[in-house]
Chain A
Amino acid sequence: EAQVTQNPRYLITVTGKKLTVTCSQNMNHEYMSWYRQDPGLGLRQIYYSMNVEVTDKGDVPEGYKVSRKEKRNFPLILESPSPNQTSLYFCASSPSSGGIPLEQFFGPGTRLTVL
Chain B
Amino acid sequence: QQQVKQSPQSLIVQKGGISIINCAYENTAFDYFPWYQQFPGKGPALLIAIRPDVSEKKEGRFTISFNKSAKQFSLHIMDSQPGDSATYFCAATYFGNEKLTFGTGTRLTIIP
Contacts and interface: CB of A to CB of B under 8 A. Distances in A.
A100 B105 CA distance: 22
B46 A103 contact: yes
A103 B96 CA distance: 15
A42 to B, nearest CB: 4
Contact of A45 (B36, B49, B99): B99
Nearest to B96: A99
Q: Which of A43, A50, A106 has the most CB of B within 10 A?
A: A43
Contact of A100 (B45, B46, B93): B93
User: Interface majority SS on B: helix, strand, loop or mixed?
Assistant: loop
A10 to B, nearest CB: 11
Interface residues of A, number: 29
A90 B95 contact: no
Contacts, number: 68
B43 interface: yes
B14 interface: no
Contacts of B103: 42
A92 interface: yes
Contacts of B62: none
8 contacts: A42-B102, A43-B105, A48-B99, A92-B43, A98-B95, A100-B96, A103-B49, A106-B44
Interface of A: 4, 31, 33, 35, 40-45, 48, 50, 56, 58-59, 90, 92, 96, 98-101, 103-109
Closest 6 CB pairs of A and B: A106-B43, A42-B104, A43-B102, A99-B96, A103-B46, A42-B105
Given A101-B93, A106-B43, 12 more contacts: A33-B100, A44-B102, A45-B101, A90-B44, A100-B32, A100-B94, A100-B98, A104-B36, A106-B44, A106-B45, A108-B41, A109-B42
